[in-house]
Structure 1
């Protein structure tokens, strides 16, 4: 898909610049030509020699290099590519791009180009969440700049959160989607995520543990592949993915209603940790603790969203994927759940506390289908999402 495609790669100044070397290698493997532009700050993290050696091309660095201006000026350089990729896109580069600054080669060619731009942000979580950065990102999206990432995870600065640059293979997928119709273009896919909160009184609720990170990563990966993604999420901690239709809910009943309202879809991925029970008559005021008295509550089963959609007649999605978070006999229990619910695939994982998977940034899953079992090695949740999205694309095409 990338054979003879010309990629202009702008490498910004951040520790994530080391990933740009792997990105160049992966692009060259796929037959793409890579013309690198290295910022002054980028040179603090990767050398021009290493970049040039991997790209097999001259590295462009200086706006006022008269030789370069004679051979290939910044105007021609900015328009000779099929796609411009900025990786890493630092907060500084984003600000320059959003406000039309042009004080170095990278910012000047980005201002002069009429070529599609793909940005891969990388910065500290507080910088990414700052209102100025959010405004700049919104401006760039309105201007037509495409984004891949950032992802959740540990950072070189020692903090944790959203701001890590996407992995090279994830950026490759985004590049392929930008240069051609993505493998899921035209497909409408539902993803549920996060927990549900079932009220006991105004300050207490029942819930399953769920950060929502895996569901968010799946929605993001599907959107990168070109799908129209409807993302129905309970009150999760995970940052909501960009480029999706977001539906926020709280209870299982609300999630069921939201799912019904968006059908039909081509595929439905149920990654949400829906509470099994709810209190039939939650109190309108806070229940007080009376010494020696245990409050009495009556419970009812919540709607089984996965089974309801899996067992639909007309209008059933072509592919229904469930999740099974288990602590004992993981594969056996997940296999039984797939048969009981009637879904096509089930993604099983071990969520014992010692695994660190619940709320963590990694997962180790087994994909169960009519074809049997397939255990994937432990990897980041974004990588799991990318692999699952690729399988969904293959199944639907």
Structure 2
């Protein structure tokens, strides 16, 4: 395959993507009052709608699911209506868009939780990481372990959020099972020391993510459901004693559920691709639908991985921030603009919707 194959249409479930370039989820902390997507969000995503698929910034499934200041939700009527403006704008430009559904678990702060409650987690183990709260970065708060009976509500919150996403006009949803957030906290034994049916064995630790996925696919269909994982990323101080065994099992089960794509962070999120040995080809062989490769991709790497059949779609994150026309720049092998670090989180149009195209 040549580089041009990256820019040809691709069938994802029941929809056709204009190309194989995906905009990865990018938290920008710009939600307005009530954690509703800002008016600028519709412009921001529409500017980038030439990507084959847009995946939104991580979006809370409930008030309890929030871990960072000014991140949007999809659990109130106002939030659904706010997202409808985004999806309408993207579709008007011919784009396709999935929303990433998120519960942060222990990566939160009491100032962001309803009634100042402790964040929830599989076990009462505080993460050695920080969150963005009160206009700055602070250590996350000590979490409490979820009671077994409480987990049913979290599963239902994901299901309802998926239904809300379809009501808001999204083409589908991505379940966030990566980067040290709640679903990955259950997966990995560095954060999960439970002794009930959600802890202990590989099978038990995978149970929550699989039950969430089954609930979501049952609500909106497997052809509109993707899952993101990060097998070896240390993001948010998450650790695992056996990532290969854990993820080989997980992907076998996700394949059985028939989800439309598997989105894999290869290596350390935003860092080295090969910091920890891991056989991604094993996941690729096990998963029969679309595989999205993520982390450190440029044009040459994407083309090489596509030619070798190692992935079907390729997610680009930070390059999309300063390059709303990233697809066109990649097609022309044009230089990429650099983003302004000071404007990544919070603020208004500056560093958000004011980056010019070629």
Larger relative contact order (Cα-Cα within 8 Å, sequence gap ≥ 6) = 2
Q: TM-score, normalised by structure 2?
A: 0.33
Q: Give the number of the structure whose residues are more often strand, by fraction.
A: 1
Structure with higher Rg: it is 1
Report the TM-score, using the length of structure 1 for normalisation.
Answer: 0.30
